[in-house]
Structure 1
Amino acid sequence: MANPSRQLRKRMQSTNDLKAALIDLLLEGNDADSITVSEIAGRADYNRSTFYFHYKDKNELLEELFRDAIGGFRSAVESTFRHVRSINLDEVAPTTRLSFEHVERNKKLFKALHSIRRSDSLYERLEQMYFELFRGRYHFYRKDPTLAIDDEMTMSYQIHAMIGTVKYWIQSDFKYSADYMCEQITRVHAHRPTDIVAQSQG
């Protein structure tokens, strides 16, 4: 009788190989819509039947890559709030650190998904996930609760600041470490600019 744990390891290895193959093809500049199952299977050194044993088509594999990417951000929030009731945004928040570490561990994945230009891109999916996660579950506390600041707008501002910073980091080809990114985004939040000054035109 076959060893179930061995079968599971082989299955995981196969799916990881197929994911890596699609990531490499995307990083080589291939359009996501033009990549074929044969190309993915061949790059992973498998045949088409192995691919179809795991996935019904290329889009199912691509969706799994998106789930892997987005899931790390969701987990960063949910795992943090399983242990604490609130986090101080003037310090490096555990949610921020876990999120940037997730991206740093999966640089190739995020660069590949960044290259896909669709209406349901990585960033649109991140935005949707954050709004669905935060609405009705988390509240942004202010020291002065009498200030007339819209909660929905605050949430949108925070979410898009995070997404924009992640996008900048990927576009910069990860020129900074996750630790540096965490420190900088925290400092930007704690010491927000008070003015925009025009540069003198010499």
Structure 2
Amino acid sequence: MTLKEDPRTIRTQEMLKDALLTLLQEGYSLHQISIHKLTQRAKLNRTTFYLHYQNINELKEHLTNDILQVLTDKIENLTSIFDRNRKEHLIQLLDYLLDQRNHILALVQFEQIEKHLLFLMKDLIVTRRNQSKNIGRKIIVDPDIKTASIIGVIMWWLKDGLHLDSSYIAEQINLMYRS
């Protein structure tokens, strides 16, 4: 069993990631967070931190990569899904984003999440267009514009639109998607 597979290691890394997210959600910027403040929040000591990470930026990268990997998997699943199940998978993606809302909004300040979402959604749109059976159909909306609008809707929803459920947002995105 390697160090990364050890349940204690996984638990410690999760405690450090949770502490970082909590501090970010409380309004601290990354440069305001010290190892001392972070380990105090995680109820761990500095030596434990340095057994897992070299610095706070490395911890942030691991945390961001965890979320990006799940987003990548969920969006790539949408690429191979055809119309019959597409809305259900989109709802699952939106439910995941809603579940991770606080984490995503805390990490948006680093721009990686939003840029990655833009990249994944554009790839999804272009792939879906290339797979479309309507080969003769005129494409009206540029993929960059469509991608930006979809991500804009999702980010607005996560920040201010929680009075609308994921099913409604998925339906609205599907309406935009078809144009």
Sort the TM-score into its range (normalised by shorter chain): 0.7 to 0.9
Match of 2:116 in 1: 125
Gaps in structure 2 of 5+ consecutive residues: none
Which digits, 9 at most, give the CA deviation of each residue in 1:47-101, with x for residues without a partner?
01111111111011111222122222210133345xx4x522996152x223212
Matched residues in 1 for 2:59 and 2:120: separation? 20
Q: 1:75 to 1:176 in 2, by over 3 A?
A: same
Gaps in structure 1 of 5+ consecutive residues: 193-202
Q: Offset at 1:185?
A: 2.2
Matched residues in 1 for 2:106 and 2:33: separation? 13
Match for residue 170 of structure 1 among 143, 158, 165: 158
Kindly, what percent of the aligned residue pairs are identical? 20
**Which amino acid letter does the alignment assign opposite residue 76 of structure 2?**
E
Higher relative contact order (CA 8 A, sep 6+): 1
Match of 1:155 in 2: 143
Match of 1:138 in 2: 127
Per the normalisation by structure 1, the TM-score is 0.71
Per the normalisation by structure 2, the TM-score is 0.79
Contact kept in structure 2, 1:90 and 1:189, CA below 8 Å: no
Q: 1:184 to 1:129 in 2, by over 3 A?
A: closer
Matched residues in 2 for 1:158 and 1:108: separation? 25
| 1:1-202 equivalent positions in 2, closer than 5 A | 8-81=6-79, 84=80, 86-88=81-83, 92=87, 94=89, 96-114=90-108, 116=109, 118=110, 120-131=111-122, 133-134=123-124, 138-140=127-129, 141=132, 143=134, 145=136, 147=138, 149=139, 154-172=142-160, 174-189=162-177
Higher fraction of helix: 2
Q: 1:9 to 1:173 in 2, by over 3 A?
A: farther
Aligned length: 176
Show structure 1 runs of 4+ deviating over 6 A. none
